[in-house]
């Protein structure tokens, strides 16, 4: 595991927790750290731990429940928990009219409850996870052959991708809302066993940054195609295999999703794909993405 320096820990606390450390980093992710809350109107002395802040739980116990959440990030987080939101984001503690992706029930879960408790459709809890036959049919229609019994919409479902022959574990709610979502073959023909690039790019006009992977020996030059759409390369990392590049990309994306950062751009803005790995530069900078990649490179494969 990488050793976190004081400078990195302080920068993370300021950027992600909006808190100013009043002492040096105590050296443990779960150790209380004396800080001052920088949220407007607060300024209290607080003792958050780095682990909670990095997981998106906020630093200040006095005002974190009311801290603003970006509507796009909130909607993306709800989708990951099995809800398609139907109206504008009402706030973290108010009912949010949504549709359950498991069975189409109309529900109104609260964002904060869903994030804290891993919310689930209240109808599905009492009536089951939906029609199992329909679940299998939806997976097959998206190009997957399930290899184990169906459990529920938000549990990874071990399946065979009929396109590339790889065993993957997509969630049914992702399949239903995003269509074909095999990580091995959706990356423009990325071969998991062939050399690949991992890249970080930025788009000035969009105010966005992006992380992604592409094969180094594929027919299509994915990086050049993005450059033709106004994206500029910040940094690239070579990998011996696409699988290795994909692992690092997923570590970074998982960490950012845990912090509440959902996709910034839309499929309409990026018709060629890749919009789900974009972030607004005001919340995630190119330097931040590069740092997260560097940290992920030190994590051993599991």
DSSP 228-251: TTT-EEEEEEEESSHHHHHHHHHH
Judgement on whether residues 119 and 170 belong to the same structural domain of the protein: no
Say what the pTM is.
0.44
Q: Total domain count for the chain? A: 4
Q: How far is CA 164 from CA 105, 184, 186, 219, in A?
A: 34, 7, 10, 17
Q: Per the domain annotation, does 183 fall within a domain?
A: no
Higher pLDDT, 177 or 210: 210
- 198: nearest Cα among 293, 288, 262, 277: 293
Which tokens go with 175? 């399949």
Residues 151 and 118 in one domain: no
- pLDDT (tens digit per residue) in 263-301: 888 766 776 667 888 999 999 999 999 999 999 999 887
Let me know whether 43 and 97 are in one domain.
no
**Domain identity same for 218 and 293:** yes
pLDDT of residue 295: 93
Based on the domain organization, do 117 and 155 belong to the same domain?
no
Residues 226, 271 within the same domain: yes
Do residues 103 and 53 both lie within one domain? Answer: no
Hey, what are 60's tokens?
């200040």
Residue 217 lies in a domain: yes
Q: What angle do CA 100, 102, 103 make, to 5 degrees?
A: 80
In-domain check, residue 186 = no
> Does residue 204 sit in the same domain as residue 233?
yes
Residue 104 lies in a domain: yes
**What confidence tens digit (pLDDT) does each residue in 64-94 have?**
555 566 777 778 878 878 888 888 888 777 8
pLDDT value of position 75: 84
Report yes or no on 1 lying in a domain.
no
Structural domain range at position 119: 71-127
Last residue within a domain, chosen from 178, 204, 238: 178
User: Which of 22, 44, 66 lies at the terminal end of a domain, its last residue?
Assistant: 66
Residues 158 and 204 in one domain: no
Q: What is the DSSP letter of 142?
A: T
Residues 282 and 231 in one domain: yes
Based on the domain organization, do 258 and 275 belong to the same domain?
A: yes
Cα-trace Rg, the chain? 20
């Amino acid at each position: 595991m990488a050793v976190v320096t004081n400078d990195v820990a302080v920068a993370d606390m300021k950027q992600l927790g909006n808190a100013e450390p009043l002492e040096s980093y105590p050296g443990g992710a779960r150790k209380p750290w004396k800080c001052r809350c920088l949220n407007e109107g607060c300024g209290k002395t607080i003792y958050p731990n780095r682990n909670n802040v990095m997981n998106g739980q906020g630093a200040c116990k006095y005002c974190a429940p009311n801290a603003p959440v970006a509507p796009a990030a909130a909607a993306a987080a709800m989708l990951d928990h099995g809800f398609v939101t139907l109206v504008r984001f009402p706030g973290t503690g108010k009912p949010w009219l949504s549709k359950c992706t498991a069975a189409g029930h109309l529900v109104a879960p609260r964002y904060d409850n869903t994030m804290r408790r891993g919310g689930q459709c209240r109808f599905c809890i009492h009536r089951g996870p939906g029609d199992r036959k329909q679940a299998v049919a939806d997976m097959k229609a998206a190009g997957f052959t399930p290899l184990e019994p169906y459990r529920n919409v938000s549990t990874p479902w071990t399946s065979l991708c009929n396109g590339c022959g790889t065993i993957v574990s997509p969630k049914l709610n992702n399949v239903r809302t995003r269509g074909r979502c095999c990580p091995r073959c959706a990356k423009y023909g990325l071969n998991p066993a062939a050399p690949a690039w991992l890249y970080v790019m930025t788009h000035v006009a969009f105010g966005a940054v992006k992380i992604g992977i592409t094969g180094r020996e594929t027919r299509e030059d994915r990086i050049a195609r993005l450059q033709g759409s106004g994206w500029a390369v910040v940094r690239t990392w070579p990998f011996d295999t696409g699988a290795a590049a994909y692992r690092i990309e997923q570590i970074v994306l998982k960490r950012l999703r845990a912090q509440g950062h959902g996709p910034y751009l839309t499929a309409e803005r990026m018709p060629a794909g890749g919009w789900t790995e974009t972030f607004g530069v005001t919340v995630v900078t190119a330097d931040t993405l590069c740092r997260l990649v560097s940290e992920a490179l030190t994590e051993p494969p599991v």
